[in-house]
Amino acid sequence: MLKNYHSHTERCGHAWGTDDEFVLAAIDAGFQVLGFSEHTPWPFADGYQEIDTRQRMRVEELEEYIAAVQALKEKYRDRIQIKVGLECECFPQYFDWLKTIRPKLDYLILGVHCADHDEHLTHYYARYNTPEQIKEYLRCTLTGMESGLFAYLAHPDLCLADYPVYDDVCKETVQSICRKAKELGMPLEYNLYGIDKQKRGRQKGLGYPCNLFWEAAADHGCTAIIGVDAHRPEHFNRQRFLDTQAYLTSLGLNLIEEI
């Protein structure tokens, strides 16, 4: 079966297409489950509002987002199962707030794009290329994983996008994430949007998804899940999903469909 829990909407400012267009594209591609996981808005202590920053929806949009996806559940209930979730940064300072909205959602996923102190997303981990930056990514990612709030870790190899070489620091980062995922029984997401970015020449280093990461994940006996990370309706590519299933299975990874 084809199930995807990682999709965005125009509310984040860097996705394109109506909610219904995403649903219909998923149906046409043969998906049985579609999860929306918009980038989480955060009630920043300094009052920062992400207006025209193309990062995340604003806090005041959250209730409308949840209501809209709930309406889609009913509208398409005979054609596809729809779920509502959020993709979250590792911001421990706001985890108590996140727990208050968790009952309104079907799930949360962890997607680390910036440091836990970088609330305005001024530095993007996919553009990091120094050992110090990779170590920072590892620290924030492990903190988020250990929180127990999240169903799985999205694009765990994001920090490799522009990282130039698989050196000792890079290898230790990969090994540490895989060890922690195995210890916690936390699935790791093979991210299909990364493949799209690779094809468009958007990554300058090892790239993500990175085969070296997934070989290590298999060696550690990790569990994997496939995420479309849809930012456009056309990202629901059935053949890409099936090819990825075959690749991960060939590595011996345990693939899951339910979260």
Residue-wise pLDDT tens digits, 150-200: 999 999 999 999 999 999 999 999 999 999 999 999 999 999 999 999 989
**Distance in angstroms (rounded) separating the CA atoms of residues 10 and 70:** 17
Does position 121 have pLDDT exceeding 90, yes or no?
no
pTM over 0.85: yes
Of 80, 66, 61, which is closest to residue 23 (Cα–Cα)?
A: 80
- For residues 179 and 222, the answer to whether their CB atoms sit within 8 Å is no
Find out whether 30 and 3 touch, Cβ atoms under 8 Å.
no
What is the predicted pLDDT for the residue at 108?
98
Under DSSP, is residue 160 helix (H, G, I), strand (E, B) or coil?
Answer: helix
The β-bridge partners of 108 are 86
Reported as a single tens digit per residue, the pLDDT across 66-76 is: 999 999 999 99
